[in-house]
Structure 1
C-alpha cells in the first residue's frame, strides 16, 4: 500500500518523465514546436503542457520564439532550445594534447581551447585548463564529459596504455575543480555514439570499429552503448587473428594481434599518427604496397565475420583515419567478409559518415545523462566539422 511519501515520489517521477518528453519534443521541433503541439504529442492537457513549458523556461532550457503560422485561431508561440544559459564541457584527452570545448544546449560550440603537454606535465596542464574554464564559465556549467583512449567505468580510468594511466579516479578529480557531474567515456564509444546521433531512423544493433594507431570497437543499440558488465566490450585490438608465419610482432609483445596487421601504423608505417589529416594519410597510403593493405583488410574481415556471427548486427561501421584509404580498402574487407558460414548471413560494411564535430559523441552522452534528451539532425547540421 502506498503511503503519502510514495505518492509524492510517484508524482515527482511522472512529472520528471513528462518534462523530459516535452523537452525532447522541443529539441526535435526545429524551432517550430508549440505548447499545443506538446499537448497533442504527449496526450497531456493544455494546462499541463503549459505548466511543463513554464518550468523548462524557468530552468533555462527552453526559450520562446516567434509566433507560429496561424491555423485560424490565436497564433501560438514557438519554442526553441535555450542556447544562452547552460553549457556542456567536453574534454577530448589524447596522449600529447587535449581539446576542451564548451557546447551550448543546441550543440553549438561557444569556446574551444587546446593544450599540449608531455607525459610529465599532462596532469598539471589539464588541471590548470579545467580550473580556468571553471573560473570563466562555472555558473553556466551543467555537466562535463572526458573522452579518452582506454577502458573506463564512467568514473575511473581502468586502464589506458596510451596515457599511461591505471585505476585513476579522474571523474572525482575533475568534479572537484568544476563543481558539476563528470562522466568518462572511451574514445571509440564516443565515436560510435556520434555516428548514431541525429539519425532519423533507428540505427538498430550496430558494430562500430575504429581503426587508427590502435583498433577498438563498440556495440550500440539504437544509439545507446552496450558496454558489457566489465566495461570492456569492444577491446578487440589485441585479439589474435593471424597465425604461423603471417603473425607479426605487435606492440603489446605478442604476435598475430589484429592491430599488428590492420592498424594504420601496421599498414602505413610508423610515420602515421592519429593527428594527421585525411590528405596526409592519403599521401602515405600511396607509397604503401597493395599487398600490405590487402593483409590488413583480410585480418579485419576475419574479425568482422566472427563478430557478426556472434552479434548478428544490422551493419558494421568502420570509422577513424582508415577512411582515408578509400573504397579500395573497404572493398577488400567486403570481399573477404563475404564468405558465409552455414547459418550466417551477409552483413553490410560501410565507412562512418565522418565530418562530425569531435565533441558530439561525448557531448551527447553528457546531455543524455543530465537531461535525458538527444540532439536532432537539424541541430547537428550547424556544428563544426573541422576539429579545430
Structure 2
C-alpha cells in the first residue's frame, strides 16, 4: 500500500478470519492490531473441529505462509464421514485415500494457536469489548470499548462474528433464529470410556436424521468426541420445557422421549455424555446481506454473511481475510482496497447465502449430510 502515512488498521475479533487477516497483512509489511473481548487465548473452549478446504481455507493459509504447519497439525483421517439411519445402519461411508488433502480436520483451538503464534508481538489486545464505532464515515474512526477506553483507526475490519458490533456501522441487519437448534454434548477419553461410541463415529464424523430430528457426532483430537443434537424447536425450548441448561438429567429424559424410536446405540449419544449440555440456537443473517460502501469500515466472515453451519463458515471467513489483506497490500488507498475486496466478496457471499438459505432444515433431512452428493462429483 502506497498510502502515506501508514493507515491505522483495527481488526475486531480474534477468530480464524481476524487472525488470518492480520497475519497476511504482516506478511506484506502492513501493521494491524487485533482487539478481542476475551481476557486471553485460554479464556474459553474454542469449539469443535473444522475442515479446511483446498479451494478457500487452505488458499488463505498458503498466503499466510502456514499451510505446511497446518498439514502437520491437521488430521487427514478426520475426513472419514459416515451417514447412518435412525436404526444405526451405515447408509454411506467415505474413507479418505492415503495422502488426501481435500479438507483435513483441525481443532479450532489448534488453528487459533497456529495463527496467534504467527503474529508479531504486540499485535493482540485482549480484554477489549467493542461497544460502538463512532466518527464520520470518512474517518478516522473512533472505537469505543466497554471499559471506557477509545482508539482511533483509519480502517476498522469487523471480524467479530454473528453478533458483530462493527456491522452496526454499516447495516441494521441482525441475525434471525433459523428454527433449528443444536445441543452440544462432550465425550472424553472415548477409547476407554466410550468405546462403542468411538467405534460408531470412526475417525471423522457420523450423521443421522429422520426428517424431524438429527444427530451429528464429530471426532476431535485428544480422544474426544462432540455430538450435536439437532432439533426443530423454539429458541427457548429448554426453558419452555421447565428446565435450565444445567438440568442435565431433565434434558436427557426429554431427549430420550423425543428420540424414543431411534436405535439404542444412537440414543447413547444423547445420554452418555460427560458433563452438561451446551445450547446453540442456529441463527443466520437475512439473504442477501449487503451494505453501501464505506471508505473506513468493512466486514468479513460471519459478521458479513452468517449462515447455517454447513461446513463453509470458517473457510469463507479465511478466504475473505486473505482477499482483504491482499487488496490492502496491492491498492494505493484503503478506500480502493475496500472497493476491490467487496467487489468480489459480496457477490460470492450472497450466492452462498442464497444457496444455504433455510439450510438449517437440511440438517434434519434424511439426506443429511451431502457426503454422497460430494462423492458423486
With the shorter chain as reference, the TM-score category is under 0.3
Per the normalisation by structure 1, the TM-score is: 0.24
Q: Which protein has the bigger helix share?
A: 1
Q: Which has the higher contact order (CA 8 A, sep 6+)?
A: 2
Q: Which has the larger radius of gyration?
A: 1
Per the normalisation by structure 2, the TM-score is: 0.25
